[in-house]
Amino acid sequence: MPSSEPEVQPLLQQFQQLFFISKIAGILPQDLEKFRSRNVLEKSRSGMVYMMVTLVVYVMFYNLLIYSFGEEDRSLKATQSTLTFVIGLFLTYIGLIMMGTDQLTALRNQGKLGELYERIRLADERLFKEKCVLDNSCIGRRIRIMLIMTVLFELSILVATYIKLVDYTQWMSVLWVMSAVPTFINTLDKIWFAVSLYALKERFEAINATLEELVMTHEKFKIWLRGESDNTTSLDSSQPPQYDSNLEYLYKELGGLDLGSMGKGSVAGSGKNKVAPVAHSMNSFGESIETASDKFPRNQMSSNLVYESELANVSKVEEKLNNLCQVHDEICEIGKAMNELWSYPILSLMAYGFLIFTAQLYFLYCATQTQPIPSLFRSAKNPLITVIVLSYTSGKCVYLIYLSWKTSLASKRTGITLHKCGVVADDNLLYEIVNHLSLKLLNHSVDFSACGFFTLDMETLYGVSGGITSYLIILIQFNLAAQQAKEAIQTFSSLNDTAGLVGSVTEMDNGSSTLHDLVSTTMLTPTTG
């Protein structure tokens, strides 16, 4: 254990800058000094207090922002339709709710987060023992890229909106800066999640790569052996091979091969029926594998010492595969634990993403129709800023979903690579092991979900985009209908004023007039307009 410890760098070493920024912004309450010196996340009371203070300050300023920018809204309320108002109110606060969820969850999880990374480190050590080397440096690069992207997006949205759409002659307009805070904090928090998830994915891939490598070396080993055997057979093809009788006995025992058919049948695969039934039933692949199955037992016997392939040594490889399986399970469990830690933030992020995406598009539509929109969504007045906002929000959500999906795919791939091992080293005993382990792997499930309400995979993404589209259609259609109804009434009332005769008609059937009017106006306006 102590010998391997210096080799395995803890994952958290790559998180230095991110932790520093998160600490300053008040996302994580853990102790800064201990993190710097020992790369551990430990509880800290002062950090907790600091975080609470930041949370309160953010909430206060954000409310101040809503209040100071909401004056127009209050005057608007009378004219605006109620639904738009209520949705607007809800939308203004969802950012705050999201930020609050993130920070409170971080407070709740402050002990568990350290444990999680400790578990990852232990898993890394076990992987290292199995000669699975991981490169953490790309994680550090990823963090930097994400940070830069976040800052770029936030700044561009903030500055563009501030310059174009906020009246910056008043000093209160400085408060607009606060509008970027919730999304910024949320993004930082999600970077933690995304990068840790990415690290897990890398670990799964490392396991897969190790298994693939086993297969590769074994294939090379076999090619080398074949070359060897081809040499021998070509040298003395006319006569039966000159092995001593000891080995001949062993071949019969092991592979059911007799020496006479071995030399010729090795390439054509005619010795198929001599393979033991279990292996045979599994092995319905191409020619080369069948020939390999013929050759394998002999090769294992004769030249294990010359060329190394771990797959040839069943008892040793069993140990290794067992260990890899256990690490796989451990990583799956870590994934589950991580999902548990971030389940509420992810749920709130998804809700936020869905709402904001729909709202931004809807308000963009409203703005093109020169209808009033809530003042906090003024970025919707400019299509370019809208595009940036949308790509920022959707980028966050989609990236998380994509990564979760990829991770669970990578975890499922291990079973495939394991079977490749079984196929390439066509050996009865190994098949049994592979079957046993693949049954186990089948039961290692890592599915990322938001509180169990929906899983994070491509299907959900499709569902969400479908949802956004249908909501937009509904909202825009109704908006259109309302507009047309309004216009029609205005023309109708002006007609009414000019010709007083019509009044008697409307009085007669004012009970059913509403529906009738609605139908007639919506039907008629396009032709008149």
Partner 1 sequence: MSPNTWVIEMPTEKSRSRPYPQRISPYGVHHPSRDAFTRTRDPPTAATPTKIVDHPVFEDIRTIMSVLKASGLMPIYEQVSDYEVGPPTKTNEFYSFFVRGVVHALTLFNIYSLFTPISAQLFYSYRETDNVNQWIELLLCILTYTLTVFVCARNTKSMLRIMNEILQLDEEVRRQFGANLNENFGFSVKFLVGIAVSQTYIIILKIYAVKGEITPTSYVLLAFYAIQNGLTATYIVFASALLKIVYIRFHFINQLLNGYTYGQQQKPKQKRNHNGHFRAALMDNFPEDSLFIYRMHNKLLRIYKGINDCCNLILVSFLGYSFYTVTTNCYNLFVQITAKGMISPNILQWCFAWLCMHVSLLALLSRSCGLTTREANATAQILARVYAKAKEYQNIIDKFLTKSIKQEVQFTAYGFFAIDNSTLFKIFSAVTTYLVILIQFKQLEDSKVDDSIPAQT
Number of residues written out for the chain: 529
Rounded Cα gap, residues 79 and 73, in angstroms: 10
Query: In this complex, which beta carbon is closest to partner 1, that of residue 216 or of residue 482?
Result: 482
In the bound complex, what is the minimum distance in angstroms from residue 442's beta carbon to partner 1?
Answer: 7
Query: In this complex, which beta carbon is closest to partner 1, that of residue 235 or of residue 442?
Result: 442
For residue 486, what are the contacts with CB-CB under 8 A and spacing of at least 6? Answer: none
- Pull the structure tokens for residue 257: 């091969």
Rounded Cα gap, residues 96 and 58, in angstroms: 9
φ/ψ bin of 26: left (φ > 0), alpha (ψ from -120 to 50), beta (otherwise): left
Residues engaged in binding partner 1 (CB under 8 A): 81-83, 86, 322, 325-326, 329, 432, 435-436, 439-445, 451-454, 467, 470-471, 474-475, 478, 481-482, 485-486, 489-490, 492-493, 496, 503, 506-507, 510, 513-515, 517-518
The answer to whether residues 201 and 179 touch, using CB atoms and an 8 Å cutoff, is no
Query: In this complex, which beta carbon is closest to partner 1, that of residue 361 or of residue 441?
Result: 441
Tell me how far CA of residue 524 lies from CA of 484, 505, 515, 527, in angstroms: 9, 19, 14, 6
In the bound complex, what is the minimum distance in angstroms from residue 264's beta carbon to partner 1?
Answer: 36
User: Helix/strand/coil (H, E, C) string of 128-177?
Assistant: HHCCCCCCCHHHHHHHHHHHHHHHHHHHHHHHHHHHHHCCCCCHHHHHHH
Query: In this complex, which beta carbon is closest to partner 1, that of residue 382 or of residue 513?
Result: 513
CA-nearest of 123, 38, 72, 101 to 327 is: 123
For residue 192, what are the contacts with CB-CB under 8 A and spacing of at least 6? Answer: 15, 18, 22, 27, 28
The CB-side HSE value for 380 (13 A sphere, CA atoms) comes to 23
In the bound complex, what is the minimum distance in angstroms from residue 344's beta carbon to partner 1?
Answer: 13
Helix, strand, coil tally for the chain in percent (to 5): 80, 0, 20
Phi, psi of 131 (to 5 degrees): 60, 40
In the bound complex, what is the minimum distance in angstroms from residue 462's beta carbon to partner 1?
Answer: 15
Q: Taking the CA atoms of 82, 83, 84 and 88 in sequence, report the sign of the dihedral they define.
A: positive
In the bound complex, what is the minimum distance in angstroms from residue 82's beta carbon to partner 1?
Answer: 4
Query: In this complex, which beta carbon is closest to partner 1, that of residue 139 or of residue 356?
Result: 356
The residues that bridge with 449 in the sheet, in sequence order, are 455
In the bound complex, what is the minimum distance in angstroms from residue 368's beta carbon to partner 1?
Answer: 19
The answer to whether residues 384 and 391 touch, using CB atoms and an 8 Å cutoff, is no
